[in-house]
Amino acid sequence: MNAPAHFRAGVFFYGVCMGNLLMDEAAIARSLIRLSHEVVEKNKGTQGLCLLGVKRRGEAVAERVRALIERFYGARVPCAGIDIGLYRDDLVSGYFVPDARRNDIGFSIGGKHVVLCDDVLHTGRTVRAAIEAIFDLGRPASVRLLVLVDRGGREMPVGADFVGKNIPTSRHEYIDLRLKELEGEDSLAITTAKK
């Protein structure tokens, strides 16, 4: 079965064959619950903790983790989305300097333990851009990375501290992660490009 051209997990692809469903709504919910507990355990509580999600998909992940931490620990940690578009390495040049004011998150990250959230970790370039954006906002005590899926294929020395699911993929495979906030459903599948 052929899927229409669409945008999933940060990658445009055309003429794909739909793959096997790897995680349904219940499995994604279980992963997020586990991740929220791991974040609080690693931080030794919620003190000084804040969540930043890479817009838009990572922002949805961050908001869900925030809600789960509030549910289980009774603490509402600061949470916001950050736009990394101006920090991408394919846009920045000697004639273009990112403007940190674009990311007005509404709270200070100075001295905080920041958990950077995203949906899928692949090359590491998105994370590099996000870290640059974070340090334009202030100097946190620490930055840790949380991803729902790690698909491998790194081009940067980046590793996640909190991973929902490791799914090694080839260059011809793509992660099709759907989130209720954006696609109206929670599911995760691998799609394969047609040869």
The pLDDT tens digits of the residues spanning 61-79 come to: 999 999 999 999 999 999 9
What is the pLDDT at residue 22? Answer: 92
All structural domains of the chain: 2-193 (3.40.50.2020)
What is the pLDDT at residue 5? Answer: 33
Positions in the chain short of pLDDT 70: 1-19, 89-102, 194-195
Structure tokens at 103: 């990311």
Q: pTM for the full model?
A: 0.84
